[in-house]
Structure formats: structure tokens, C-alpha cells
Amino acid sequence: RFEEDSLTGAIEHFKSPHSCRYNNANCLLSHRFGLRHAQVVALSTGTKCINGEYLSDQGLVVNDCHAEVTARRALLRFLYSQLEFFLSKRPEDWEESIFVRHKERGYRLRDNIHFHMYISTSPCGDGRLNSPYE
């Protein structure tokens, strides 16, 4: 079971003094919106910014490493691995996969598969829901 408090404690333990505003994000897979038995398929921690004096113009520091971005990357990796799993199985074993064939060409998620994303802070930039300019 996912415990945000334990993740937050881990972030506090390992966080760098050179960055500010830590956040975490995760993606959950559920069947028919049954969140009680949801499976964490992507988990990430990140920073919103690096303090100015620690920025690097030589590529030595990742300036913005947002948890929602790296969680999305992990989710894509999970989806690719699931598609690879589907393609490696015989048709009689396809029930184990989250994918089904779509009209003889392509693939889609099963009808009962849903993904949910949790982010501990509101996104910044274009991902914001509320903009001070509107």
C-alpha cells in the first residue's frame, strides 16, 4: 500500500540543500475505478527549481526535474513494457494484459483499466489550472 508519509520522509532525508520546493507524483492503475486495490505503476520525486547560485551553464545540474514529468516518463515506460508483454504472449494468454487488439490494427487499453495521477503540489507553467494572467 502506498504511504505518502513514508515517501515524504524519504524525500526529506535525501533532499539537496541546493534545491527548493520538493514534490512527488505517482500514477496508479485501477480496475473499474477500484482504488482500494490500485497498483502504483509510476512513482517519482522531484524539485521545482534549483537555487540560483547552484545553476550550471555547463550541463552539470538538472535545473527543473519536476516529479510529474518523470512520473509521466515512468508511466510511458510501464505502458511500453505492458505492450511488449502483450506481443510476446499467445492469444490465449492475452487476458493477463492491460491491452486488447483494436480492429485488427493497433491496440487499446481494456475497458476496465483506468489511470490516476497524484501530484503533491500543483503543477507550474502550462500545467497550471489557474493562471494569474486570466
- Dist. CA 18–CA 53, nearest whole Å: 8
The answer to whether 96 is a known catalytic residue is no
Number of neighbouring beta carbons within 10 Å of residue 29: 19
> Quick one: cell of 71?
512520473
Among 95, 103, 99, CA closest to 83: 99
What is the spatial distance between Cα 67 and Cα 73, in angstroms, rounded to a whole number?
10
Give the residues across from 87 on adjacent strands. none
d(CA 112, CA 25): 23
Give the rounded distance of the alpha carbon of 43 from its chain centre.
Answer: 6
Spot the catalytic one: 53, 68, 92, 96. Answer: 68
Q: Which residues are catalytic?
A: 68
